[in-house]
Copies of this chain bind each other. A is one copy, B any other.
Amino acid sequence: MTPRSTERSSYHHGGLRQAVLAAALEVIAAEGPGALSLRDLARRAGVSHAAPAHHFGDRTGLLTAIAAQGFELLADTLAGGTTLADRGRRYVRFAAGHPAHFQVMFAPALLRADDPDLAAARERAGAELRAGVAAPPGRDARATGIAAWSLAHGFATLYLTHNVDDAVGGVPPEEYFDGLTGFLTDPRD
């Protein structure tokens, strides 16, 4: 009754929302968000060109849904983390494993900024990000968190944009990142 594939006999698709999201992630990962075409996604799902609009409103709505899903996934990924270094590693692995989500999450021009689902998901991820950041003596905890976030986010971005391919080689990026974590001052002094 609920044909999740592109094959479909009934009038209703049954899993259109999921199908469109999945197809969108493929396209974005391969060619970037600019290459997204709602009509193409509709064709891939085997529905008419206007069907996706019902679920997402418009193009911005679709990207906003993807971003919200991304922040949820990121929050889940970070939730199990122990140390600050471990959270950084998880952050990088998330970016490498979900490049499409990651791109869209940090492209505010593509998103509906006032979407409540997006705001909630972002807040949840932000809380996980800040959780358990112990400030080194004499250091502001918030600054410590931002330095760590910057390091992880910057490396992830540079990795995804192929700016550190030479250095990283075939090594999994989160593993290479472990070696970078050591550059942050540890709270030993």
Binding site for B on A (CB under 8 A): 31-35, 106-110, 139, 142-144, 146-158, 161-164, 167, 179-180, 182-185
How far apart sit A142 and B167, CA to CA, in the bound complex (Å)?
A: 7
* Oligomeric state, in copies: 2
Q: Are B153 and A158 in contact (CB under 8 A)?
A: yes
Give the chain B neighbours of A184 by CB distance below 8 A: 183-185
Min CB gap A173→B, angstroms: 11
Give the chain B neighbours of A156 by CB distance below 8 A: 154
Q: Are B142 and A151 in contact (CB under 8 A)?
A: no
How far apart sit A34 and B155, CA to CA, in the bound complex (Å)?
A: 24
The 7 closest A-B pairs by CB, nearest first: A154-B154, A32-B109, A150-B154, A153-B154, A150-B155, A147-B183, A147-B180
